[in-house]
Amino acid sequence: MNHHIQFSVTGGPEVLQWMEGPLPEPGPGEVRVRHTAIGVNYIDVYHRSGAYPVPLPAVPGFEAAGVVEALGPGVSGLSAGQRVAYVDGPAGAYSERRNHPAERLVPLPETLSDEAAAALLFKGLTAHMLVRRVWRPEASPWVLVHAAAGGVGLILTRWLAREGGRVIGVVSSAEKAAMVREEGAEATIVVPRGAAYDQVPDETRRITGGPGVNTVFDSVGRDTLEASLASLAPFGLLASFGRSSGPLPSVDPADLGRRGSLALQRPSIFHHISDPAALRAAAAEVFAAHAQGKLKAHIHDTLPLREAARAHALLESRTTQGALVLIP
């Protein structure tokens, strides 16, 4: 029997239930993976809460590291006992074992532990997309990063700073601000929980001594949209890549024009790594950057898989710094 976490209705963390059920043999092109460490990502919260509707019942989770246990028909290039990880769907990573498409598995280097891989891969590939495909450092190195002490935020801040970015990190506490500065942020803006983000644009202009930043990375969404747009210099880009505070209102392109010929982009990791070759190339760059110290796996805490509900409550409480990892 195989244990997993499942939800049959959407709602708060309490809808996550510990279940057991059979696991079929891996089908054609699939591999059975025994999970050793499972990454918790905010997308798991959106699925559980119903913010992103999914067919029910559902097993959450898009990221895990583990060991290959069995190969389905037609699989080559992988072997039983090999350490691997994955970062995409179908969802189902909150489980002891699962079958997953072989072409979506990434072999893990010896330099990376399974827990570090589960803390690094999804968030590191997101940062890879933002740094390599979205960031526009040409006009100015100044960049604003919201939720800079979060799972993605710490990795993104460090990577941008190592590549010449002058990062202003927005966080909700002085403790988080100190951590973000350790990762290379040049300045931080503290907006305590419950406070509005109104002062962010003026603070940004004061810090940069200019018209604002050229790029904003905003994963908070509803609560930060206005402050993000108002912090941009002319021709700046708002990369809106998440909505932890809630869905964004629609934006009128004419308003982007009036504010200074701004651009708005909604990048997704799933487009970034949809091609298996692109996935492996991006993962190789993440592993190399980790080995060089350009990226760091920050584990806020590890919890038993059975306590997935507690992990979700923690993530939503805005008290975590870095990643949460579940251990089956």
Ligand X SMILES: NC(=O)c1ccc[n+]([C@@H]2O[C@H](COP(=O)([O-])OP(=O)(O)OC[C@H]3O[C@@H](n4cnc5c(N)ncnc54)[C@H](OP(=O)(O)O)[C@@H]3O)[C@@H](O)[C@H]2O)c1
Longest Cα–Cα distance in the chain: 61
**Ramachandran quadrant class, 13 (left: phi over 0; alpha: psi -120 to 50; beta: rest):** alpha
Q: Tell me which residue has its CB nearest to ligand X.
A: 150
Min dist CB 199 to ligand X, Å, is 14
Name the minimum Å distance from CB 179 to ligand X.
Answer: 10
Interface with ligand X includes 282 (CB under 6 A)? Answer: no
With DSSP H G I counted as helix, E B as strand and the rest as coil, what are the percentages for the chain, rounded to 5? 35, 25, 40
> Candidates 8-16, 25-33, 201-209, 263-271 — which segment interacts with ligand X by CB under 6 A?
263-271
320 binds ligand X (CB under 6 A): yes
Q: What is the Cα–Cα distance from 291 to 42, expressed in whole angstroms?
A: 26
Interface positions, 7-46, toward ligand X (CB under 6 A):
41-43
Residue 60 near ligand X by CB under 6 A: no
3-state secondary structure of 208: helix
Shortest distance, CB of residue 80 to ligand X, whole angstroms? 31
CB atoms inside a 10 Å sphere around CB 254 = 8
Q: Does 215 bind ligand X (CB under 6 A)?
A: no
Binding segment for ligand X among 24-32, 134-142, 216-224, 254-262 (CB under 6 A)?
216-224
Cis peptide before 57 (omega within 30 of 0): yes
Q: Any contact of residue 228 with ligand X (CB under 6 A)? A: no
162 touches ligand X (CB under 6 A) = no
Taking each helix axis as running N to C, give the angle between helix 151-162 and helix 174-182, from 0 to 180 degrees, rounded to the nearest 10.
40
- Residue whose CB is less far from ligand X, 100 or 298: 298
Count of chain residues binding ligand X (CB under 6 A): 29
Shortest approach of ligand X to residue 58 CB, angstroms?
A: 17
User: Which of 147, 238, 314, 325 forms a contact with ligand X (CB under 6 A)?
Assistant: 147
In the chain the first and final C-alpha atoms are separated, in Å, by: 14
Sign of the dihedral defined by the CA atoms of residues 198, 323, 239, 145, in that order: positive
Q: Which of 33, 116, 149, 167 binds ligand X (CB under 6 A)?
A: 149
Going by C-beta distance under 8 Å and a sequence separation of 6 or more, which residues neighbour residue 167? 143, 144, 145, 148, 157, 160, 161, 180, 184, 185, 186, 187
245: Cβ contacts below 8 Å, ≥ 6 apart: 220, 221, 222, 223, 224
Q: Which listed residue (245, 276, 285, 303) binds ligand X by CB under 6 A? A: 245
- Interacting residues toward ligand X by CB under 6 A: 41-43, 123, 126, 147, 149-153, 171-172, 176, 219-220, 223, 241-245, 267-269, 315-316, 318, 320
